[in-house]
Amino acid sequence: MLNLAKKLTVFSSGKKGAKGIVAIWFIAAMLMGWLAPGASDYATSINESGLPEDSVSLKADEKLKEYFPEDKGTPALLVFTKKGEFTDTDFAVIDKISKKIETAKLEPVKSVVPFHKLPPQAKASFLSENNTTLILPVSLKENLERKSINETIEKLGKMAKAELKSNDEVKLAITGPAGIVADMISIFARADVVLLLGTMGLIFVLLILIYRSPLLALVPLLGAGIVYEVVNKTIGIFGSAGMGIDSQSTSIMSILLFAAITDYSLFIVARFKEELKKEENKYTAMKRAMEEVTEPILFSGGTVLAAMLVLFAAIYEPYRNFAPVFSLALVLIILGGLTLLPALYVLFGRKAFWPAIPKVDFTAEAKQTFWAKLGSGVVKNPLKSGFFVVIPLVIIALNTLNIEYSFNLIKSFPDDIESRQGYEILEKNFSPGELAPTTVVVESSQKLDLEKVQSLRDELLAVEGVEMVNPDFSSKDPMEAMRLDSSFSVDRKAVKMEIVFSGNPYDQKTFDLLNGIRHDKSKLINNAGLEGTKLYFAGETAKQAEIRDVNDRDTMVVVVLTTVVIMLLLGLQTKSLIAPIYMMATIILSYFTALGAGTFIFNKFFGYTEISYRIPLYTFIFLVALGVDYNIMLISRIKEEARKHPIKEAISLGLAHTGGVISSAGVILAATFAVLITQPIMELFMFGFTVAIGVLIDTFLIRTILVPAIMVKMGKYSLWPQKVMAEEADLNV
């Protein structure tokens, strides 16, 4: 693979090859941009659970669909609220809205509660206890396209608001699964454009500051733009063939692409500039540069690719959907880094460096840079340098023990998004458990006895933490008769009940409570005298409790596999048994430090007491895989210098040669991930912020101080079993 890559880069660095490579990439981008769909056209719908097909909560959904087919659909909750209590005039307006939706007969709408036909006592059941908030449920058909859901929610909103013009005291917010989907579409439609433009603008500014050359700043953006078009359309083609694409993966993919292409550009330019000072012919200079840069680019890209491939081992759909998207992207990113970038730079030649054009000068003396001084200091005082880094990082990393995780997706939305506003209105005016009750399906092989069903309800109601179980099968209220009858299946062999927990349905304590009921369901069944029946639990709490378990499993599996795979790749690249161990250990330290630092900042400065449960795994995959890149670059240069110098001097020289370029690359990588801070989804904000912190820690502390300090202390064993030159007695670095 390495030999093939080197042959490819040699071809791309030649006069004819460079022109041919640029032409191929440019034509591919033009044709695919014209003919192929984009990745965002096939983004996965947000209302899918992501759980495996054999999960118990999805089986419960199937039972609901089997016995109560009229219940299935995607709920949209029209939430009406006012400062005072609802009056008869307000009810009359809601009647008009209910009738208008019913008579409109919108094709995607399955049903709407006929509020205008209900008696006053029934209407009151949709009102909060403080009489300030009313819910009008609308059910959309199953498996609608996201575009259809979005258009339907917009139409429902316009219908309702047209009637509310006559009553400006009542305000409307549409929430529920359908409202969330509609808002997600609009959020990402705006966010992706802002993200792409922000990333490109930031990279251009940083490159101008680093190089002070307009062409050197534009070439990587030109290369990244061409590669992006090919990647985006390639993923779109696979999406049209049925490959799952998560909305967030396309946003993060664009960040990774521009960051990686820019990093590869920095490495190529730095080495190209070195060779141009030794060689007049630009094609020869680029070939020599790529001889040394190809291996680290191939292996650094390969480690990220390997980490993404590991995600195929996950069983949670959002994690597994990252694998094909990023794997396809990375293959093309690596290919672009090894072919398109050297071809572009060699065609521009020395002119790319204008106004500071490098000239051949064998007499020029190397300047004593900051990185040379730092390398010398670390070599002379490795123990002090190492402890200077390790102690504070370990202390910050311990803050990960205080992390609290959130499983409530809607809390990740911006404050001004309607579906979140509607949810928070419900949260404020209804009891927490009423926001998302858990549905229990009781299935029997024979007709169910009403008294025994009531006995099971009593058993469930007696569980500590259960606030309410509906309906009450012993009720004599005539208004309840219709509700009781609809709770049974047509053949009376199944019945459904709703459990309202006293705690928030998305709280982990509620998950534990439901899991306890699941564990004791045989006891509950026997106590109720319903032997031979089965219980199934459906709803958000049931799904999120399973997602928590699946997430714990996936996190453990992916972390272990990623660590093992990356260490194996590091062993192949360094040809050492020892180097991968301390390289991986230091990267994991930077990961925990970033997570601990991020949690502290989110809590103390932004007031977030919880972070998304997906942040640790996302951060691990990207931070560990990307952190390896810079270690590979450093170790590659140290290995190169170790052919001619003793190991301590090789370490110092390696750090001096790579310090500027890798630190510049680290700043750009951190900055591009920090662009995610501008995104309206809190999960992306937290992810981008945490990765940015981790990259900076890895760039300026781990790679520049801790790894060199460890290598100095280990001496000739730092690359064992590779042989290095013996140390001189008195080495002046």
* 3-class DSSP assignment, residue 51: coil
Q: Which residues contact 669 (CB under 8 A, 6 or more apart)?
A: 259, 262, 263, 626, 695, 699
676 pLDDT more than 60 = yes
534-564 pLDDT, tens per residue? 999 999 999 999 999 999 999 999 999 999 9
Q: How many CB atoms lie within 10 A of CB 162?
A: 12
Among left, alpha and beta (phi > 0; psi -120 to 50; other), residue 532 is left
CA angle 637, 640, 643 (to 5 degrees): 150
Per-residue three-class SS string for 132-159: CEEEEEEEECCCCCHHHHHHHHHHHHHH
What does the longest C-alpha to C-alpha distance in the chain come to? 102
**What average pLDDT is seen over the chain?**
88
690-704 pLDDT, tens per residue? 999 999 999 999 988
Q: Which two tokens stand for residue 98?
A: 């209910």
pLDDT at residue 479, rounded to an integer? 59
Q: Which two tokens stand for residue 61?
A: 């959904």
| Distance in Å from the first CA to the final CA of the chain | 36
For residues 349 and 331, the answer to whether their CB atoms sit within 8 Å is no
- Amino acid identity of residue 635, one-letter, is I
Q: How far apart are CA 558 and CA 379, in angstroms?
A: 36
pLDDT at residue 48, rounded to an integer? 62
282 pLDDT more than 70 = yes
Q: How far apart are CA 349 and CA 690, in angstroms?
A: 38
Per-residue three-class SS string for 58-88: HHHHHHHHHHCHHHCCEEEEEEEECCCCCCH
Structure confidence at residue 364 as a pLDDT band (50, 70, 90): low
Q: Which residues contact 316 (CB under 8 A, 6 or more apart)?
A: 50, 51, 547, 550, 551, 554
Q: Can you name the residues that pair with 440 across neighbouring β-strands?
A: 497, 537
pLDDT at residue 513, rounded to an integer? 96
Residue whose structure tokens are 């179980």:
469
Nearest C-alpha neighbor of 275 from the set 657, 548, 729, 562? 657
pLDDT at residue 46, rounded to an integer? 44
Q: What is the mean pLDDT of residues 73-94?
A: 92
Rounded to 5 degrees, φ, ψ at 243 are -70, 135
For residues 726 and 647, the answer to whether their CB atoms sit within 8 Å is no
424-460 pLDDT, tens per residue? 999 899 888 888 899 999 999 999 999 999 999 999 9
Residue whose structure tokens are 């794997």:
327
613-655 pLDDT, tens per residue? 999 999 999 888 888 888 888 888 888 888 888 889 999 998 9
CA 589 to the chain's CA centroid: 21
Q: How many CB atoms lie within 10 A of CB 516?
A: 13
Percent of the chain past pLDDT 70, that is, above it, reads 95
Structure confidence at residue 730 as a pLDDT band (50, 70, 90): very low
Percent helix, strand, coil in the chain, to 5, is 70, 10, 20
pLDDT at residue 234, rounded to an integer? 94
Nearest C-alpha neighbor of 613 from the set 339, 404, 411? 404
CA angle 285, 273, 378 (to 5 degrees): 120
29-64 pLDDT, tens per residue? 999 988 888 887 776 544 467 888 889 999 999 999
Q: How many CB atoms lie within 10 A of CB 671?
A: 19
pLDDT at residue 616, rounded to an integer? 94
For residues 469 and 457, the answer to whether their CB atoms sit within 8 Å is yes
Q: How far apart are CA 580 and CA 641, in angstroms?
A: 19
* H/E element, 442: strand 438-443
pLDDT at residue 70, rounded to an integer? 79
Domains of the chain and any CATH numbers: 23-48+213-360 (1.20.1640.10), 73-182 (3.30.70.1110), 371-422+551-733 (1.20.1640.10), 437-538 (3.30.70)
Q: Which residues contact 461 (CB under 8 A, 6 or more apart)?
A: 468, 469
Q: What is the mean pLDDT of residues 484-495?
A: 87
* H/E element, 109: strand 109-112
pLDDT at residue 54, rounded to an integer? 86
* H/E element, 372: helix 370-380
731 pLDDT more than 50 = no
Q: Which residues contact 53 (CB under 8 A, 6 or more apart)?
A: none
Q: How far apart are CA 510 and CA 462, in angstroms?
A: 16
pLDDT at residue 368, rounded to an integer? 65
* H/E element, 637: helix 615-642
Q: Which residues contact 584 (CB under 8 A, 6 or more apart)?
A: 563, 566, 567, 570, 628
Q: Which two tokens stand for residue 607?
A: 């007031």
Structure confidence at residue 92 as a pLDDT band (50, 70, 90): very high
Structure confidence at residue 733 as a pLDDT band (50, 70, 90): very low
Q: Which two tokens stand for residue 89?
A: 């005039």
112 pLDDT more than 60 = yes
727 pLDDT more than 70 = no
Q: Can you name the residues that pair with 496 across neighbouring β-strands?
A: 441
Q: What is the mean pLDDT of residues 581-596?
A: 94
Q: How far apart are CA 262 and CA 26, in angstroms?
A: 18
In DSSP notation, 229-294 reads HHHHHHHHHHHHTT--EEHHHHHHHHHHHHHHHHHHHHHHHHHHHHHHTT-S-HHHHHHHHHHHHH
127-153 pLDDT, tens per residue? 999 999 999 999 998 878 778 898 999
Q: How many CB atoms lie within 10 A of CB 237?
A: 17
pTM of the model: 0.86
